[in-house]
């Protein structure tokens, strides 16, 4: 138990530049207290002491501002920074070395039973007020931008942002979105319609341009023919000398 406590405090010291000493971390980091409360309530939950486990989780919520269901599985070195407003659902799984900021929700999207909350793999960073919803997986070493709403799986080593979230970096390389269908936000339909309209106008403009080119070619031919006629000296004048 003491080894785990030392490991937790050390991980906070490594990831938070505002942490100045071990005693400060022990006394002033409610996110760390929430994780320690959860370890006890989760053990009670696994012993089928469900009501005491829920009561303890509510006590922890009152003192820390973090609502972690006793059934959730949390890995080692979980760092909940600033703590307030974090919600972790019953069937959520959080890996090791994960960093979660304030206002994050690891929640479900319906009332179905079974696995209905996300799985967060190792070394994932989740920015403040992000929502990761449903039975999805966020891959190792990925980052979820602040305020994002993640509704689909996130590959490892990726960065996602937006509502709903889409990938902007993968394996350190920028992902350029050229198809509006890939964005999947409420404005996608409008962008798709606008893109179709632009293509239609371009095709019509191309048709008019080709017609102008043909007219110009004909006019150039007529001008050349007139010039050729003007250079001819022999001609017939109808009625000359009468």
pLDDT at 23 over 80: yes
Which CATH number does the domain housing residue 165 bear? 2.160.10.10
* Mean confidence (pLDDT) of the chain: 85
**134 neighbors 106 (Cβ within 8 angstroms):** no
Tell me what pLDDT residue 156 has.
94
Final residue in a domain of this structure, among 156, 176, 196: 176
| Residue 63: band (very low, low, confident or very high) from pLDDT cuts 50, 70, 90 | very high
Q: Per the structure block, which two tokens stand in for 227?
A: 């010039």
Q: Under DSSP, is residue 227 helix (H, G, I), strand (E, B) or coil?
A: helix
Edge-to-edge strands, sheet with 93-94: 73-74, 93-94, 119-120, 137-138
Together in a domain, 116 and 225 = no
Together in a domain, 37 and 64 = yes
- Give the count of domains, the chain: 2
Q: Per the structure block, which two tokens stand in for 168?
A: 């902007």
Tens of pLDDT, residue by residue over 149-176, are 999 999 999 999 988 888 888 888 887 7
DSSP state of 165: T
Q: What is the span of the domain harbouring residue 236?
A: 179-242
Full-model pTM? 0.73
In the beta sheet, which residues pair with residue 161? 166
Q: Under DSSP, is residue 117 helix (H, G, I), strand (E, B) or coil?
A: coil
Together in a domain, 118 and 203 = no
- Which of the two residues, 83 and 1, has the higher pLDDT score? 83
- Listed residue (158, 95, 165, 99) closest to 131, CA to CA: 165
- Which of the two residues, 26 and 191, has the higher pLDDT score? 26
């Amino acid at each position: 138990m003491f080894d785990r406590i030392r490991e937790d405090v050390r991980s906070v010291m490594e990831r938070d530049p505002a942490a100045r000493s071990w005693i400060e971390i022990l006394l002033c980091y409610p996110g760390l207290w929430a994780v320690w409360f959860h370890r006890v309530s989760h053990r009670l939950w696994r012993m089928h002491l469900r009501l005491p486990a829920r009561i303890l989780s509510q006590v922890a919520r009152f003192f820390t501002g973090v609502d972690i269901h006793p059934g959730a599985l949390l890995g080692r070195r979980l760092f909940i920074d600033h703590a307030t407003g974090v919600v972790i659902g019953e069937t959520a799984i959080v890996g090791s070395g994960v960093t979660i900021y304030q206002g994050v929700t690891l929640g479900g999207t319906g009332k179905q039973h079974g696995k209905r909350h996300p799985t967060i793999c190792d070394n994932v960073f989740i920015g403040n007020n992000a929502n990761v919803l449903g039975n999805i997986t966020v891959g190792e070493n990925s980052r979820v931008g602040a305020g994002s709403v993640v509704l689909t799986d996130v590959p490892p080593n990726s960065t996602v942002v937006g509502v709903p979230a889409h990938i902007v970096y993968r394996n350190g390389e920028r992902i350029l979105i050229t198809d509006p269908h890939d964005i999947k936000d409420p404005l996608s339909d409008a962008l798709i319609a606008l893109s179709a309209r632009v293509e239609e106008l371009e095709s019509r403009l191309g048709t008019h341009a080709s017609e102008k080119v043909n007219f110009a070619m004909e006019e150039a031919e007529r001008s050349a023919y007139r010039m050729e006629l003007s250079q001819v000296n022999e001609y017939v004048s109808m009625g000359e000398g009468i």
